[in-house]
Structure 1
Amino acid sequence: MVKFSRIVILLFIDACIVTFSYITAFLLRFGFNVNDPVFDAWFAIYANNLLPITVACILAFSICGLYTSMWRYAGTDELIKIVAASGLAQLLVMFYVTFSVLSMPRGIYVIAFLFMVFLLSAFRISYRFIRNLRTPGTFNSFVLRIGRRDIIGGNVTKVMIVGAGEAGASMINEIRNHHEYGKKVVVAIDDDTAKQKHRICGVKVYGGRSEIRHAARKYGVDEIIIAIPSAKKKAIQAIMEECKRTRCKIKILPSLIELINDKVSVSKLRDVDIEDFLGRDPVHVNLREISSYIEGKIVMITGGGGSIGSELCRQIARFRPRRLIAVDIYENCVFELSNELRETYKNLEFEIVIASIRDKQRMREVFDKYKPHVIFHAAAHKHVPLMEKNPKEAVVNNILGTKNMIDLAEEFATEKFVMISTDKAVNPTNVMGATKRVGEMILQEKSQHSRTTFAAVRFGNVLGSNGSVIPIFRKQIEKGGPVTVTHKDITRYFMTIPEAVELVIQTGAMAQGGEIFILDMGEPVKILDLAENVIRLSGYIPYVDIDIEITGLRPGEKLYEELLLDEEGIEKTAHNKIYVGHPLPANPALKAMLDSEDRQDSIEGEVKKVSDMSEAEVKEWLHDIVPNYTPQK
C-alpha cells in the first residue's frame, strides 16, 4: 500500500512538472506576450491536447524506469535515466502531434526538455535530501564546517577511503546513506595524480598512499577502508604497510571475484587478516588435470588429521574420489574431520584408519584392504626444536615410516605417490630437515625402477598450521605478552594452508616420476614484522601495549630457509607457481643401504641400530647419509 501511494504521488508531481514545463516553454518562446494572436493559436493546440501529451510524457518516464528506481540512493545512473526519459517524452509528443495532423514550434520541445530534466532532477534530489534528514541519527552526525575545523555531534567514526574509484565512491555513498553505521568519510587517498586535490562524492582526495599517515593525523581518522577490489595483492600489501604506521583500524573490500554479482557495501567489508600482508595473489589450479587422476579413484592421505592432511581431505573430496581414506595415529583430529566431511559431502565414502606408518605390517593390512590408487604422504614429525631433542623418533618416523609407505605403494601398484616435504630439507641444519631429505632421496632412488609415479613437494611454513608462529603469537597476545621472536633478522617463507594444498594436488597431476616440486612461496617474511602485524591486527600497539622479546635462535634453527639445493637446478612448469628440481643420484651410503641384501645393513637394520646410539651419534649417522647436513653444536 505504501509503495502504491508513493507511485501515485510521483505520477501526480510528474504530471505537474510536465504541464509546468510546456506552459513555461510557450511563455519563453513567445516572450511572455500572452495577448499575441499567434501565441493563442499555438497554445490552443497544446491546451486542447493537454491530457494525451501528459500521458505520453508519463509513459516515457515509465519506460525509462523513473518509477522503479530507489531515489534515496539516486546517482549518475538515475540522472541519465531522467535525461533519456525527457528526450523520449519529446519524441512521443512530437509523434502524437504529427499523427494528429497538428504541429507546435520546435523550440517548445527543446525548452520543455530542458525544464523537465531540471525539475525532475530537482524534485528527486529534494526527495533524497528530505528522506535523509528524516533518518534517525542524521542530525547527531551533522557536520558544521567552520574554517578548517569539523564540529561533529554524536559518536562518529572518522573514516579514510583508500581508492577513489567506483568502489570507493560506492563506499562513500553507502556510508553517507546509512547513518546507523556511525561512520563519516572525512578524506580519500588515491595514487592517481589526476584525482588528487579533487573531490569524490564531496570528499577530498588528499594525495597518494605516501600521504596516508599525514592525512590520518590531520583529519583525526579512526578507521581506514581499502576499497580497491581490482588491485593485485602486492599493491594491497604496499598500501597496508603505510596503513599500519597509523593507529587506525583497517578494513578491506574483498577482491572483484568475491564481489561479483554483489554491490559494494559496508556489509562486504572484512577485517584485514595476516594473509593480506603476504602480498600473494590467489592460486589457480587446472581443475581438469586434477579431476583426471583423482575422480573415481581410491585416495589415501597419511597424517590425515594434521593441518596439511586434513586440508588435503577437504579439497580432494571436491573431486569425487571413489573412496577417501585418512590414516593417522591420533584419533581426535580425524574424528572431527570425519564429522565435518560427512556433513559437507553426503555421498562421500570416507574411511578413517588409526595406524602408524612405522608399523609396516599394519600398513600392509591397510593397503591390502583398500588398494589405494593415489597416496599423499603427509605424516611426519615436523617440529624442529622437538626433533633436535628426540632425534631417534625423527629417524624412525620420517625415514623408516616414509620407506614403509614407498615400499608398500610399489608392492600394491599404487599409481601416484606424492610426499609432502619441507624447505628445511635443503642444506639442513636440524634433524627434522635431515630426515625429510633422506625421505626425498629414498623416493627419488625408488622412482628409477618403479611402475609407481613418485614425487615430492617442497614448501615452507603454512600460516595457522599446528605449532606455527601465528597461533603461538596469538596465545601470547591473549596472555598480555610478551610475544617472543628468536632473532630480529630471522625470515621464513609462508603460504596459507589452502593454497599450499591446492598446489600439492596440482603437482600430483604433473608428476612423471622422481621430481621434487618446489612451490613459489613469494618473498620471505621477517618474523619480527609478522609479530608486529599480528599484534596490530589484535587491536594493540607493538612495544606499547604488547612487548616483543628476542629470545635467541633455538637448536637447529636457521636465520633463513632455502627451497633448492644448488646442484638440483630448477625448471619452470606449466603452472606459474610450481617449479621442478632435477633428480639427483642417491648418496653412496644411502644407496648401499637400499641395495643391501643383508637386513642388518639395510635401512631397516640401520634404523634399529639408531636406538642404541646417543643423540650425537644419531646426528653423525644422518650426516653420513646427508653430507650437506650441518648439525648445530
Structure 2
Amino acid sequence: MLKDGIYTRASVVLTLEISLSTFASLLSFLLLGAITEVDQGSDRFILGWLLVSLISSAFAFRLIRTHSSAVRYSNLWDYRRVFLALMVKAAFLCLYIFFIGKQTRIHLGVALLDFLISVTLLLLAKGFVVMLYQSVRERTLASLSRTSLLIEGVGESSRSLALYLKSSEKYRVLGFLTVGETDITTLSDLPVYRVRDARELSELKEKLDFSAVLFADQDQVKNREGDILDWLLDLGLKPLIHTPAVELPPANEPRPNFDVRNIKIEDLLGRSEIKISLEDITPNFSQKTILVTGGGGSIGSELCRQLGSLGVKRLIIYDNAETPVYEIRRQLERRYPHLDLKTIVGDVRLLSRLDFVFKTHRPQIVFHAAAYKHVPLMEENPCEAILVNTIGSKNVADKCVEYGIETMVMVSTDKAVNPTNVMGCSKRLAEIYVQSLGLAIEQGSVLGNTRFVTTRFGNVLGSNGSVIPLFKEQIERGGPVTVTHPDITRFFMTIPEACRLVMEAAHLTNGNQIFVFDMGKSMKILDLAKRMIELAGYQVDKDIKIEFSGLRLGEKLYEEVLSDEEQTLPTSHARIRIAQVRAYDYPKALEAVATLEKLACVVEVDKMVTLMKEIVPEYISQNSKFEALDKH
C-alpha cells in the first residue's frame, strides 16, 4: 500500500530543480556550439554564466516556492510557478549578457535557448514523477478490495468529488448517476448513467455490480428524497454522503476515510441546512470571556465546541453533571490545546456558587443552556422544573446584572409557546422574568447594562433524550420501534444548526428580544421512524415493527409554528425572526417568581401549578393530571 503521508523532502526537490536548471544552462552552450566559437578567455564568461544560472535559479525557486508542494500531485498551478521562476532566472541571465557579454559573440539566443531547455527539463521531470506515481498507484489500488459506487448528479460538486476520490483506497468510482433526461454522456472521463425509475436502477445495479451511491452534499440528498433515495433503500444499495467541512474534526484528530459517511436521518430534514456567516459573528466572541451554563448538555457542549473555534479569550463551562463536563473538557483540550478553559461543577439553583463563578472569572457573555427538558419527567416532578428552569434562569440573569455582563443569551423552547405541560410553562416563566428584567433596565427602573436575548427552537435531532437516540437503540435491539401516536409531528433541527442560530441571535440582538427560528415544515415522527429503519438496512414491519405507545404525560400532537409572520418581525437573517409577545411588569414578575419558588421549596404542587396557570393563562394542560386545575 502506498504511503500517501510520506513525501520527498522539500530541500531535496529544491536541489534537484536547481541542478536541472543549471544543467540546462550548460546544455544551451553545447547545443549552439558556443564553446568552440567564443574568443579565448570566454571560459571565464561561461563559468560566470553557470554561476549566475545557479544563483538566480536558487533565488527564483526559493522565492516562488516551486518545491513546496508534493511533486506527485503537481497540477497546472505548480507548472505555472515553475514557468514564472524560470522567467526570473532568464531575466538575470539577460542582465549578465548586457553588462558582461558584450566582449563575446554570445547573444540573447543563448538565453532564449536556456529558458526553453530549462522549462522542458523541469516540466518533463515533474510530469515523469506524476506518471510514475499514478502508474504505481493504479496497480496498488487494483489489488485492494474497494466499495464500487456511483456518484449522484452531474454538477460541479459531483465532478469535483469524483476527482477527489480518484485515488481512494476505500472507494472505486464507476461513474455518475442521474435521474431523468440529460445530454451528458461522460464527465471527467467517467460514464454518466441515466435512470428513470427503480426498475432501470435495478438493471444498472446488476450490470455494474455496485453497492452504493454517493451524494455530494446534503442539499442533493434532500432534493432526491422521494425518488432515488427510496429506490436505493428498496434495492439494498447504501446511500453515502460527502461529509460537509463543518462536520470534520480538526487536523490533530483522526479524520474519516476520504470524508465519506453513511447518510443519517439529520440529512433528511426536508429543507436546506441553516447557515450563518462565521466571519460576521466572530468579532462578537473573539478575545472575550464566555460562560456557558449547562455546558455538558447537548446544546451547551456543541456551543462550547463552536465557541472554541472562534478565538475566545476564556471559556467557562458550568454544569452540575460531572461526567458530561469531564467529556467535553477532554474534547476541547484535544481540539484546542491553547484554549483557556475552565470547567466548574455547580448548580444554577445555588446563588453562592454562581456568585463565585461571576466574581472569579468575570465573564462578558453568558449562554444560559442549563435546564430540565424532558416533558413527562417534569410533569411528574413539577417543583424541580420551576426551581431549575425558572428560578435557575432568574439566578443567572440577576448575576449578569449584578456583575455588568454585556449579553445574556437564554436557550428556550417551542414548548413555551401556548404550553401544555409543566416543562413548557416553566420555560415561559423564565422568559417572562428575563424579558421583564431587561425591559426594566431599558426603562431605568433597574440599574444595569446587560442585554438579554432569548432563543426559541424546536426539537433538536440527536440531543440527549430525543427520539433519534431512542430509535437507534430500539433498532439495534431488533425492535420494536415505539411511536406515541401515528399522527404526531414535530419541528426539527440539528444540534450544530441550533447552536449556530443561538450565536447569530447574540450577534443580531439590540437587547431584550425573543428570537424564534424558521425550522421549515414539521415532520411526522412515524415517517422519521420508518426512514431510520430503512437507513439501517431493514424493512419496516418485516424486519422491525413499529408500535404505538400512546401520548405521554403533557404531550401534544402538534407543536406551535414558531415563525408565523403575523406574530413575528423579520431580522437580517432569513431564518431568524423576533417574537412579538406580551410585556410583563418587572415588580409583578419578581413577586410571582418568588412565590413560585416558595411553593416549589415546600412541594405545594397544586398551589404552584395553579399559580403558573394564572401567570401564563395560555397554559392549558393536555394528557396530564393538572387538567383538573384548568379553568373551563
Same structural fold, with TM-score higher than 0.5 when normalized by the shorter chain: yes
For residue 454 of structure 1, report the CA deviation from its aligned partner.
0.3
Residues 304, 328 of structure 1: 8 Å contact kept: yes
Q: Does 1:577 align with 2:575?
A: yes
1-structure distance, mates of 2:287, 2:165: 50
> Which residue of 2 is the match for residue 351 of structure 1?
342
Counterpart secondary structure, 1:628: coil
Counterpart secondary structure, 2:558: coil
Residues 422, 436 of structure 1: 8 Å contact kept: yes
Counterpart secondary structure, 1:448: helix
For residue 547 of structure 1, report the CA deviation from its aligned partner.
1.4
Alignment of structure 1 residues 605-616 onto 2, 5 Å: 605-612=595-602, 615-616=605-606
Residues 596, 611 of structure 2: 8 Å contact kept: no
Which letter maps to 2:613? H
Residues 599, 608 of structure 2: 8 Å contact kept: no
Which letter maps to 2:398? D
Which letter maps to 1:620? T
Counterpart secondary structure, 1:449: helix
Counterpart secondary structure, 1:620: helix
Q: Deviations over 1:137-193 (max 9, x none)?
A: 98x99xxxxxxxxxxxxx997755532456667888999999x87978598333344
* Compared CA separation, residues 320 and 548, structure 1 to 2 (3 A): same
> Which residue of 1 is the match for residue 539 of structure 2?
541
> Which residue of 1 is the match for residue 42 of structure 2?
none
For residue 199 of structure 1, report the CA deviation from its aligned partner.
10
* Compared CA separation, residues 542 and 295, structure 1 to 2 (3 A): same
Residues 233, 537 of structure 2: 8 Å contact kept: no
For residue 194 of structure 1, report the CA deviation from its aligned partner.
3.2
Q: Does 1:293 align with 2:284?
A: yes
Q: Deviations over 1:516-575 (max 9, x none)?
A: 111222222221122122222222222222111111111111212124387972122112
For residue 227 of structure 1, report the CA deviation from its aligned partner.
4.5
Counterpart secondary structure, 2:440: coil
1-structure distance, mates of 2:566, 2:187: 56
> Which residue of 2 is the match for residue 216 of structure 1?
202
Moved more, 162-171 or 296-305: 162-171
2-structure distance, mates of 1:306, 1:368: 24
Moved more, 486-495 or 279-288: 279-288
> Which residue of 1 is the match for residue 317 of structure 2?
326
Q: Deviations over 1:113-153 (max 9, x none)?
A: xxxxxxxxxxxxxx99xx89x96998x99xxxxxxxxxxxx
Q: Does 1:247 align with 2:236?
A: yes
* Compared CA separation, residues 203 and 604, structure 1 to 2 (3 A): same
Q: Paired residue for 1:558, among 547, 556, 559?
A: 556
Residues 189, 212 of structure 1: 8 Å contact kept: no
Which letter maps to 1:420? V
Residues 484, 548 of structure 1: 8 Å contact kept: yes
2-structure distance, mates of 1:281, 1:561: 21
Residues 233, 279 of structure 1: 8 Å contact kept: no
Q: Does 1:441 align with 2:438?
A: no
Q: Which runs of 5+ in 1 are unaligned?
A: 1-69, 72-98, 100-126, 142-154, 260-264, 597-601
> Which residue of 1 is the match for residue 589 of structure 2?
594
Q: Deviations over 1:475-494 (max 9, x none)?
A: 11221111111111211122
2-structure distance, mates of 1:470, 1:517: 26
For residue 462 of structure 1, report the CA deviation from its aligned partner.
1.4
Alignment of structure 1 residues 19-98 onto 2, 5 Å: none
Alignment of structure 1 residues 349-428 onto 2, 5 Å: 349-428=340-419
* Compared CA separation, residues 189 and 354, structure 1 to 2 (3 A): same
1-structure distance, mates of 2:187, 2:386: 65
Residues 480, 546 of structure 2: 8 Å contact kept: yes
* Compared CA separation, residues 175 and 190, structure 1 to 2 (3 A): farther
For residue 513 of structure 1, report the CA deviation from its aligned partner.
1.6
* Compared CA separation, residues 568 and 332, structure 1 to 2 (3 A): farther
For residue 362 of structure 1, report the CA deviation from its aligned partner.
2.5
Which letter maps to 2:616? V
> Which residue of 1 is the match for residue 332 of structure 2?
341
* Compared CA separation, residues 346 and 391, structure 1 to 2 (3 A): same
> Which residue of 2 is the match for residue 276 of structure 1?
267
* Compared CA separation, residues 516 and 257, structure 1 to 2 (3 A): closer
Q: Does 1:207 align with 2:195?
A: yes
Counterpart secondary structure, 1:442: helix
> Which residue of 2 is the match for residue 489 of structure 1?
487
Q: Paired residue for 1:475, among 453, 473, 482?
A: 473
> Which residue of 2 is the match for residue 163 of structure 1?
153
Residues 180, 194 of structure 2: 8 Å contact kept: no
> Which residue of 2 is the match for residue 225 of structure 1?
213
Q: Deviations over 1:12-63 (max 9, x none)?
A: xxxxxxxxxxxxxxxxxxxxxxxxxxxxxxxxxxxxxxxxxxxxxxxxxxxx
Identity, in percent, stands at: 38
Q: Deviations over 1:325-376 (max 9, x none)?
A: 1111111111222222222222222112222111123322322222221110
Query: How many residue pairs are counted as aligned between the two chains?
Result: 484
2-structure distance, mates of 1:464, 1:579: 24
1-structure distance, mates of 2:473, 2:246: 33
For residue 584 of structure 1, report the CA deviation from its aligned partner.
2.2
Q: Deviations over 1:200-242 (max 9, x none)?
A: 968573334xx14542267446634135559556424454345
* Compared CA separation, residues 204 and 483, structure 1 to 2 (3 A): same
2-structure distance, mates of 1:377, 1:157: 46
For residue 414 of structure 1, report the CA deviation from its aligned partner.
0.9
For residue 594 of structure 1, report the CA deviation from its aligned partner.
3.0
Counterpart secondary structure, 1:244: helix
Residues 516, 579 of structure 2: 8 Å contact kept: yes
Counterpart secondary structure, 2:342: strand
Residues 384, 600 of structure 2: 8 Å contact kept: no
Residues 236, 537 of structure 2: 8 Å contact kept: no
Alignment of structure 1 residues 107-122 onto 2, 5 Å: none
Which letter maps to 2:521? E
Counterpart secondary structure, 1:343: helix
Residues 387, 393 of structure 1: 8 Å contact kept: yes
For residue 452 of structure 1, report the CA deviation from its aligned partner.
0.9
* Compared CA separation, residues 400 and 172, structure 1 to 2 (3 A): closer
Which letter maps to 1:376? F
Normalising by the residue count of structure 2, what TM-score does the alignment of the two structures yield? 0.67
For residue 619 of structure 1, report the CA deviation from its aligned partner.
2.9
* Compared CA separation, residues 442 and 563, structure 1 to 2 (3 A): farther
2-structure distance, mates of 1:402, 1:182: 50
> Which residue of 1 is the match for residue 621 of structure 2?
631
For residue 576 of structure 1, report the CA deviation from its aligned partner.
2.1
> Which residue of 1 is the match for residue 529 of structure 2?
531
2-structure distance, mates of 1:242, 1:462: 28
2-structure distance, mates of 1:468, 1:182: 33
Residues 568, 583 of structure 1: 8 Å contact kept: no
Counterpart secondary structure, 2:577: strand
Residues 195, 205 of structure 1: 8 Å contact kept: no
Residues 187, 203 of structure 1: 8 Å contact kept: yes
Q: Which runs of 5+ in 2 are unaligned?
A: 1-70, 73-108, 110-130, 249-255, 442-448, 625-632
1-structure distance, mates of 2:247, 2:199: 29
Counterpart secondary structure, 1:517: strand
* Compared CA separation, residues 241 and 522, structure 1 to 2 (3 A): farther
CA RMSD of aligned residues (A): 4.1
2-structure distance, mates of 1:579, 1:420: 15
Residues 160, 216 of structure 1: 8 Å contact kept: no
Normalising by the residue count of structure 1, what TM-score does the alignment of the two structures yield? 0.67
For residue 285 of structure 1, report the CA deviation from its aligned partner.
2.5
Counterpart secondary structure, 1:281: coil
Moved more, 464-473 or 373-382: 464-473
Residues 568, 581 of structure 1: 8 Å contact kept: no
For residue 410 of structure 1, report the CA deviation from its aligned partner.
1.0
